[in-house]
Chain A
Amino acid sequence: MRTLEQTTQEVLDLASKHFNVPAGSLVPEDDFFKKLGIDSLQTLEMLSRLENHFGIELPDYEVQGVSDFRTLASRIQSRL
Chain B
Amino acid sequence: MLDLSKYQSIGAALKDALEEFANEVCLIESDREREKERLTYRDFKQRAHPLAKALQDAGFAAGDRASIIMTNQSKWLISAYAVFHAGGVLVPLDYKLTPDEQWQLLKHSGAKTLITEYPIWRQLSVSEGRSAAANVSTVLVTEAPKNADLAGTQRWEEYQGSSEPAFVPRARKDVACIVYSSGTGGRPKGCMMTHENYLEQCVALTSIYPFSPGVRYLSILPTNHAIDFMVGFFGPFICGAAVVHLRTLRPEYVREAFSKYKITYVSLVPLVLKNLQKGLQARFDELPSGKRKVFNAIVAVNRALTKSRPRLGLSRRLLKRVHEPFGSELRAIIVGGAFAEPQTLQFFYDLGIPVANGYGLTEAGTAITVNDLQPFRADTVGKPLPGMEVRIVNPGADGIGEVAVRSKTIMSGYLNEPELTAEAIAEGWLMTGDLGRFDAAGHLQLFGRKKNMIVTEEGKNIYPEDIEAVFESLPVKESCVFAANYIWPQRSMVGEQLLLALHLEPGQTYTEDLRRDISTRNSKLLNYKRIHGVVLFEEDFPRTASLKIKRNALAERLRKLDRAAAFLPL
Contact = CB atoms under 8 A, between A and B. Distances in A.
Interface of A: 31, 33-34, 39-41, 44-45, 47-48, 57, 59-62, 64-65, 67
Contacts of A44: 249-251
Given A61-B117, A64-B95, A67-B527, A45 B251 contact: yes
Nearest to A48: B250
Contact of B523 (A39, A57, A67): A67
Given A59-B247, A60-B71, A65-B96, 10 more contacts: A33-B527, A39-B458, A41-B275, A44-B250, A60-B249, A61-B71, A62-B119, A64-B119, A65-B98, A65-B123
Contacts of B530: 34
Nearest to A64: B96
Interface of B: 32, 71, 95-96, 98, 117, 119-120, 123, 247-252, 271-272, 275, 458, 523, 526-527, 530
Contacts of B95: 64
Contacts of A34: 523, 527, 530
Contacts of A39: 271, 458, 527
A34 B525 CA distance: 11
A59 B250 CA distance: 10
Nearest to A31: B523
A65 B97 CA distance: 8
Contacts of B117: 61
Contacts, number: 47
A44 B254 CA distance: 11
Contacts of B71: 60-61
A65 B523 CA distance: 12
26 contacts: A31-B523, A33-B527, A34-B523, A34-B530, A39-B271, A39-B527, A40-B458, A40-B527, A44-B249, A44-B251, A45-B250, A45-B251, A47-B250, A48-B251, A48-B252, A57-B32, A59-B247, A60-B71, A60-B248, A60-B249, A61-B119, A61-B120, A64-B119, A64-B120, A65-B123, A67-B527
Contacts of A47: 250
B500 to A, nearest CB: 16
A52 B460 CA distance: 31
Nearest to A38: B527
A9 to B, nearest CB: 22
A40 B530 CA distance: 14
The 5 A-B residue pairs whose C-beta atoms are closest, nearest first, are A61-B119, A33-B527, A31-B523, A44-B250, A60-B248
Nearest to A43: B527
A48 to B, nearest CB: 5
A75 to B, nearest CB: 11
A17 B117 CA distance: 34
Nearest to A67: B527
**Centre residue among A33, A41, A60 by max chain B CB count within 10 A:** A41
Contacts of B247: 59-60
B523 A41 contact: no
Nearest to A32: B527
A59 B71 CA distance: 12
A78 to B, nearest CB: 12
A41 B271 contact: yes
A67 B527 CA distance: 8
**Centre residue among B117, B523, B530 by max chain A CB count within 10 A:** B523
A63 to B, nearest CB: 10
**Centre residue among B117, B120, B251 by max chain A CB count within 10 A:** B251
Contacts of A65: 96, 98, 123, 526
A39 B270 CA distance: 13
A65 B71 CA distance: 14
Contacts of B271: 39, 41
A41 B527 contact: no
B36 to A, nearest CB: 13
Contacts of A48: 250-252
B378 to A, nearest CB: 23
Contacts of B123: 65
A59 B122 CA distance: 15
Contacts of B272: 41
B556 to A, nearest CB: 32
B251 A41 contact: yes
A60 B95 CA distance: 12
A62 B120 CA distance: 9
A14 B63 CA distance: 52
A67 B271 CA distance: 19
A47 to B, nearest CB: 7
Contacts of A31: 523
B38 to A, nearest CB: 21
Nearest to B523: A31
A64 B527 CA distance: 12
Contacts of A62: 119
A45 B254 CA distance: 12
Nearest to B246: A60
Contacts of B526: 65
A61 B527 CA distance: 17
A80 B122 CA distance: 20
B33 to A, nearest CB: 11
Contacts of A64: 95-96, 119-120
A65 B99 CA distance: 10
Contacts of B32: 57
A62 B123 CA distance: 11
Nearest to A47: B250
A61 B69 CA distance: 12
Nearest to B252: A48
